[in-house]
């Protein structure tokens, strides 16, 4: 197992965990909330802006390992309200550009730092 931290363009972990872990031919990316890496803050006030920032963070995590969005095998989307599902789903479809990994979407009561959306992914290495 290879723990990955200090990935370029990816926010630092807000707790005692790694940004990603390589294990058994897979890359497990910790859940990304819409933190702007340069400021360490959530700047987008709406769920659409937050979802776009989350995908930017995911793209950067994958890119740091030589991967793209088409390497994603599984995604889990966490929303603070299912009322945002159509908005986030539209951005998800745009960001995936036709790639359709397995996915789960769940509503949670709250997310770190007041985020409205968090997404974690598992990608295939090589």
Q: What is the C-alpha R_g of the chain? A: 13
Per domain, the residue ranges of the chain are 2-124
Q: What is the pTM of this model?
A: 0.96
For position 71, what pLDDT does the model report? 98
Q: To the nearest whole percent, how much of the chain has pLDDT over 90?
A: 97
pLDDT over threshold 90, residue 14: no
Give one DSSP letter per residue of the chain, joined into a string.
Answer: -EEE-S-TTSPPPSSSS-SEEEETTEEEEEEE-SEETTTTEE---SHHHHHHHHHHHHHHHHHTTT--GGGEEEEEEEES-GGGHHHHHHHHHHHHTT---EEEEEE-S--GGG-SEEEEEEEE--
For position 77, what pLDDT does the model report? 98
Residue 45, Cβ density class (10 Å: 0-12 exposed, 13-18 middle, ≥19 buried): exposed
pLDDT digits (tens, 9 = 90+) for 96-106: 999 999 999 99
Region 70-85: mean pLDDT is: 98
- CATH class of the domain comprising 2-124: alpha beta
Region 24-38: mean pLDDT is: 97
pLDDT over threshold 90, residue 8: yes
């Amino acid at each position: 197992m290879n723990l990955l931290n200090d990935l370029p363009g990816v926010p630092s972990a807000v707790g005692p965990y790694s940004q990603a872990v390589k294990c058994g031919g897979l890359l497990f990316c910790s859940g990304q909330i819409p933190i702007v890496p340069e400021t360490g803050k959530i700047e987008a006030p709406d769920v659409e802006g937050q979802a776009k920032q989350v995908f930017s963070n995911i793209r950067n995590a994958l890119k740091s390992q030589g991967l793209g969005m088409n390497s994603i095998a599984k995604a889990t989307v966490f929303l603070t309200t299912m009322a945002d599902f159509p908005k986030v789903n539209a951005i998800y479809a745009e960001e995936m550009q036709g790639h359709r990994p397995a996915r789960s979407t769940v509503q949670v009561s709250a997310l770190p730092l007041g985020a409205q959306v968090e997404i974690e992914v598992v990608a295939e290495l090589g």
